[in-house]
Amino acid sequence: MTSLNTWRYLLRAICPACIISREEYLLLAKVAEEAECYEDLVAQIKGLTQTYGALTIKERKLLSVAYKNITNPLRSSWRVVSLIRRQRVRIEKELTDACKDIVKLLNDSLLATAKVGEETVFYYKLKGDYYRYLAEFAQQQERSRCSDSSLAAYKFAYKHALAMLGPTHPTRLGLALNFAVYYHDVRKSPEKACHLGKHAFDEAVACLDDSSSMQVMRDSMTILQLLRDEER
């Protein structure tokens, strides 16, 4: 119960048959206006209308003030949300075009001429990445199609990486990281993401030795840290 209605409540409690005068309604309405309690102002005008019917010019102005101050902030919020929605549509269109462009380049040219080994893994990883990006914001059937295409690319790349690249190879580790992100974000399967990350992390740690080049060691340790964070 608002403080502005306390007096009215007490009056009704003491004398249920008592009717609040028009002047008392108007006083409470003006107090509500001064306090910028526009919902309370509406309540007083509604009570006045129910009790006395038609409104005077002053009362109509109070009614207008009440609803204007309630609706104006909401209209402003709606305009902001509408602008954001239009911006989102534009950004999604540009992002979709960019993702589809690189996937087309991969399918039409780069994958067909890729050498066995790191190059093939790299390009199929890219294909999985950009289908994953599309799946993140696509709708319904398109999301499912992009998710399946991303999964197929990642699986092919990971199988090839296991056969052709060492456990500490940065491209293999980067693939494992992104594949884990796919399971976590797109498939909503943190268990599979953790399993994949842990497997790649454990294999790489077991193979780290003094013979590894410093650059490979640095790249591998950076990605291993990301895998461990993803596992958590």
Q: Is residue 181 a contact partner of residue 133, using CB atoms and an 8 Å limit?
A: no
Q: Where are the alpha helices (DSSP H) in 35-117?
A: 38-52, 57-105, 111-113
C-alpha angle with apex 189: 228 to 138, nearest 5 degrees?
110
Identify the burial level of 135 via C-beta atoms within 10 angstroms of its C-beta, where 0-12 means exposed, 13-18 middle and 19 or more buried. Answer: buried
For the segment 176-226, what is each residue's pLDDT rounded down to a tens digit? 989 999 998 999 988 888 888 888 888 887 876 655 555 555 666 666 676
Tell me the whole-structure pTM to 2 decimals: 0.72
| Residue located via tokens 């799946």 | 135
Q: What are the structural domain ranges in the chain?
A: 3-55, 95-231
For the segment 93-138, what is each residue's pLDDT rounded down to a tens digit? 999 999 999 999 999 999 999 999 999 999 999 999 999 999 999 9
CATH number of 95-231: 1.20.190.20
d(CA 30, CA 41): 8
